[in-house]
């Protein structure tokens, strides 16, 4: 069968999940699984696929037992470099550090573009109000064994407005399904949506909320990652795509959501009402924030496309995924460092198993103290300051996307008595597993200078490794045999169950 052609942003509606799926299909990175149950089975299969494959496909779960077979769940949207690049409107053939570099250039130059307001769209193909609303008719997964419920919102949009200023926000804060028309919301302190909510509660007023479950993954990235304070998430998304996205105003709340959303709701939080929320398997790989009373939204209207798709990005133990989050965070930390004037940065990366808990920076050392400056700024600029732990600075010859190389640099180019500093009382939060309950808030940072010491860097022992010219010469000469040896001995990244 001929492969479908990739659609460009001009040809496709730039911000429709269905066009994105066609492009992922064209990349050969979409799998379909029929018959997995909503209760743990979808979550477990997602986790096992991530464990087994270093380049995992996106997975569409269809025909979930007990549900309309065309109501689907999409997992693993962004788990390869190609799909991350596709989503961010970047070339799909970039390696990790060039991708991060291209992304940060794009973010630096980004000019927000206001969305186009349309009167309706595919999301209005089905409209249900009041008693008709039944969210239990959607195959909402219970993702992890320790979860306190089914999570409808893990890769979604929560749209709110500041009750005092009217400023709109689009955030991604987890959403638990309580009932056919009630969904719980957990927003951690300081998030924009939380500030809006707190203002409404102080005024004793119902708080209108719209939510979208299923949309182009760039909108999920905008809601969950990269948008700087003061920039509207829809305008940022338009700026990144180079054209406006289409939104419509919710008939009940006026809150705006993408016209191509798969599923959208409008509703309100009533002051004083709460239900038990959590626990939930969180991105550090633990259930760290326990079950608590949290607000919930009374759903007043439900809209969905025909054959709707719920997008899911439940976090699993980060030893098996999360590369795209590392790339996004690395791009924003790198830009933060550059804005603070740190020269000659050759790369920034967050090893996926550690996520924000470790930042690795490669520099070309230029002056005494350059490495320390790079480390301090990396872990204290806005993008790098929250929930960190270790920051490692290495020389430019280290491949910072390869943990073996980073560990080798630490092991051989740092001396604990002279290469390490500790910062105390830095910015942490409720999800930090090592801070005891009741004491969460601050944590500490360790800076590791794993660079050749500046004073005698020219006399530091040479690395024992074939030079790149030698490597090229012999690998070209022996390529056929080497490829055959490789093919005979290749092993998939398989874990036995």
Ligand X SMILES: Cc1cc2nc3c(=O)[nH]c(=O)nc-3n(C[C@H](O)[C@H](O)[C@H](O)COP(=O)(O)O)c2cc1C
Residue where the block lists tokens 């005024």: 203
Q: Which does 193 bind (CB under 5 to 8 A by kind): Mn ion, ligand X, none?
A: ligand X
Closest contact distance (angstroms) between CB of 339 and ligand X is 19
Residue 192 found at the interface with Mn ion (CB under 5 A):
yes
Closest contact distance (angstroms) between CB of 351 and ligand X is 17
* Of 6-14, 56-64, 189-197, 347-355: span binding ligand X (CB under 6 A): 189-197
Pick between residue 13 and residue 207 the one whose CB is nearest to ligand X.
207
Report the candidate in 121, 165, 136 with the shortest Cα–Cα distance to residue 13: 121
Quote the CA–CA distance of 148 and 244 in Å, as a whole number: 39
Residue 173 found at the interface with ligand X (CB under 6 A):
yes
Closest contact distance (angstroms) between CB of 89 and Mn ion is 21
Q: Which does 154 bind (CB under 5 to 8 A by kind): ligand X, Mn ion, none?
A: ligand X
* Of 58-66, 191-199, 241-249, 290-298: span binding Mn ion (CB under 5 A): 191-199
Q: Which of 23, 80, 84, 169 binds Mn ion (CB under 5 A)?
A: 169
Question: What kind and span of H or E run contains 399?
Answer: none
Residues in 354-413 at the binding interface with ligand X, rule: CB under 6 A: none
Helix orientation angle between 468-477 and 479-489, rounded to the nearest 10 degrees: 80
Q: Which does 80 bind (CB under 5 to 8 A by kind): Mn ion, ligand X, none?
A: none
Question: E strands of 366-441, at which residues?
Answer: 390-395, 420-427
Name the closest residue to Mn ion (Cβ). 192
- Asked whether 64 and 36 are in contact (CB, 8 A), the reply is yes
Residue 171 found at the interface with ligand X (CB under 6 A):
yes
Quote the CA–CA distance of 33 and 57 in Å, as a whole number: 12
Pick between residue 274 and residue 475 the one whose CB is nearest to ligand X.
274
Cα 296 to Cα 42, 150, 155, 213, 304: the distances in Å are 25, 14, 18, 16, 21
- Asked whether 183 and 177 are in contact (CB, 8 A), the reply is yes
Q: Which of 46, 154, 237, 355 binds ligand X (CB under 6 A)?
A: 154
Residue length of the chain: 497
Q: Which does 313 bind (CB under 5 to 8 A by kind): Mn ion, ligand X, none?
A: ligand X
* Of 182-190, 246-254, 329-337, 485-493: span binding ligand X (CB under 6 A): 182-190
Residues in 253-312 at the binding interface with Mn ion, rule: CB under 5 A: none
Pick between residue 194 and residue 321 the one whose CB is nearest to Mn ion.
194
* Of 3-11, 187-195, 337-345, 373-381: span binding Mn ion (CB under 5 A): 187-195
Question: What kind and span of H or E run contains 197?
Answer: helix 192-202
Q: Which of 55, 70, 120, 188 binds ligand X (CB under 6 A)?
A: 188
Residue 388: burial class (beta carbons within 10 Å; 0-12, 13-18, 19+): buried
Q: Residue 367, CB half-sphere, CA atoms under 13 Å: how many?
A: 5
Pick between residue 170 and residue 363 the one whose CB is nearest to Mn ion.
170
* Of 20-28, 184-192, 271-279, 464-472: span binding ligand X (CB under 6 A): 184-192
Closest contact distance (angstroms) between CB of 182 and ligand X is 17
Q: Which of 80, 224, 260, 443 binds ligand X (CB under 6 A)?
A: 224
Residue 353: burial class (beta carbons within 10 Å; 0-12, 13-18, 19+): middle
Question: What kind and span of H or E run contains 247?
Answer: strand 246-249
Residue 313 found at the interface with ligand X (CB under 6 A):
yes
Report angle CA 356, 358, 364 to the nearest 5 degrees.
Answer: 120
Residue 192 found at the interface with ligand X (CB under 6 A):
yes
Residue 174 found at the interface with ligand X (CB under 6 A):
yes
Pick between residue 160 and residue 419 the one whose CB is nearest to ligand X.
160
Residues in 21-60 at the binding interface with Mn ion, rule: CB under 5 A: none
Residue 207 found at the interface with ligand X (CB under 6 A):
no
Closest contact distance (angstroms) between CB of 338 and ligand X is 21
Closest contact distance (angstroms) between CB of 336 and ligand X is 15
Q: Which does 214 bind (CB under 5 to 8 A by kind): Mn ion, ligand X, none?
A: none
Closest contact distance (angstroms) between CB of 440 and ligand X is 14
What phi-psi label fits residue 437: left (phi over 0), alpha (psi between -120 and 50 degrees) or beta? beta
* Of 2-10, 165-173, 338-346, 352-360: span binding Mn ion (CB under 5 A): 165-173
Residue 193 found at the interface with ligand X (CB under 6 A):
yes
- Asked whether 388 and 445 are in contact (CB, 8 A), the reply is yes
Closest contact distance (angstroms) between CB of 337 and Mn ion is 22
Residue where the block lists tokens 């269905």: 18
Q: Which does 178 bind (CB under 5 to 8 A by kind): ligand X, Mn ion, none?
A: none
Q: What DSSP line would sit under 71-127, residue for residue?
A: -EEEE-TT-SHHHHHHHTTS-TT--HHHHHHHHHHHHHH----PPEEES--GGGGEE
Burial 58-84 (b: 16+ CB within 10 A, else e): bbbbbbbeebeeebbbbbbbbbbbbbb
Residue 332 found at the interface with ligand X (CB under 6 A):
no
Going by the DSSP 8-state scheme, the letter that residue 3 receives in this structure is: P
Report the candidate in 399, 422, 412, 413 with the shortest Cα–Cα distance to residue 451: 413
Question: For binding to ligand X (CB under 6 A), which residues are involved?
Answer: 154-155, 169, 171-174, 186-188, 191-193, 223-224, 313, 315
Binding site for Mn ion (CB under 5 A): 169, 192
């Amino acid at each position: 069968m001929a492969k479908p052609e990739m659609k460009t942003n001009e040809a496709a509606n730039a911000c429709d999940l269905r066009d994105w799926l066609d492009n992922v299909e064209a990349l050969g990175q979409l799998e379909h699984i029929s018959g997995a149950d909503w209760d743990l089975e979808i979550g477990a299969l997602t986790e096992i696929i991530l464990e087994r494959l270093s380049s995992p496909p996106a997975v569409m779960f269809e025909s979930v037992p007990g549900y309309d077979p065309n109501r689907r769940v999409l997992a693993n949207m962004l788990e390869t470099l190609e799909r991350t690049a596709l989503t961010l409107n970047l070339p799909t053939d970039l390696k990790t550090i060039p991708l991060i570099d291209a992304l940060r250039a794009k973010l630096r130059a980004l000019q927000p573009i206001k969305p186009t307001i349309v009167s309706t769209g595919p999301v209005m193909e089905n409209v249900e109000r009041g008693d008709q609303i039944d969210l239990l008719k959607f195959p909402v997964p219970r993702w992890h064994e320790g979860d306190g419920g089914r999570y409808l919102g893990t890769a979604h949009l929560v749209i709110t407005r500041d009750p005092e200023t009217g400023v709109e926000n689009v955030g991604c804060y987890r959403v638990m399904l309580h009932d056919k028309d009630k969904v719980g919301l957990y927003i951690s302190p300081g998030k924009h949506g939380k500030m809006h909510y707190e203002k409404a509660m102080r005024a004793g007023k119902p708080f209108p909320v719209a939510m979208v479950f299923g949309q182009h993954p760039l909108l999920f990235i905008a809601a969950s990652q990269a948008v700087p304070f003061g920039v509207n998430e829809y305008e940022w998304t338009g700026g990144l795509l180079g054209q406006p996205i289409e939104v419509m105003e919710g008939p009940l709340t006026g809150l705006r959501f993408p016209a191509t959303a798969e599923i959208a709701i409008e509703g309100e939080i009533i002051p004083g009402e709460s239900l038990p929320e959590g626990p939930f398997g969180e991105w550090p790989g633990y259930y760290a924030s326990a079950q608590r009373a949290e607000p919930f939204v009374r759903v007043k209207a439900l809209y969905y496309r025909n054959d709707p798709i719920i997008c899911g990005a439940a976090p699993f133990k980060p030893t098996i995924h999360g590369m795209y989050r590392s790339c996004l965070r690395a791009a924003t930390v790198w830009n933060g460092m550059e804005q603070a004037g740190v020269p000659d940065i050759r790369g920034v990366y967050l090893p996926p198993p550690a996520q924000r808990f470790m930042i690795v920076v490669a520099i070309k050392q230029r002056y005494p103290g350059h490495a320390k400056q790079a480390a301090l700024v990396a872990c204290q600029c806005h993008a790098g300051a929250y929930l960190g732990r270790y920051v490692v600075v290495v020389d430019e010859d280290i491949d910072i996307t390869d943990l073996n190389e980073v560990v080798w640099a630490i092991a051989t180019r740092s001396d604990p008595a002279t290469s390490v500093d500790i910062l105390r009382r830095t910015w942490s939060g409720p999800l930090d597993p090592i801070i005891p309950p009741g004491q969460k808030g601050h944590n500490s940072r360790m800076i590791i200078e794993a660079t050749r010491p500046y004073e005698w860097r020219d006399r530091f022992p040479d690395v024992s490794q074939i030079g790149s010219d030698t490597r090229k010469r012999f690998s070209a000469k022996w390529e056929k045999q080497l490829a055959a040896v490789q093919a005979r001995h290749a092993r998939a990244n398989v874990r036995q169950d």
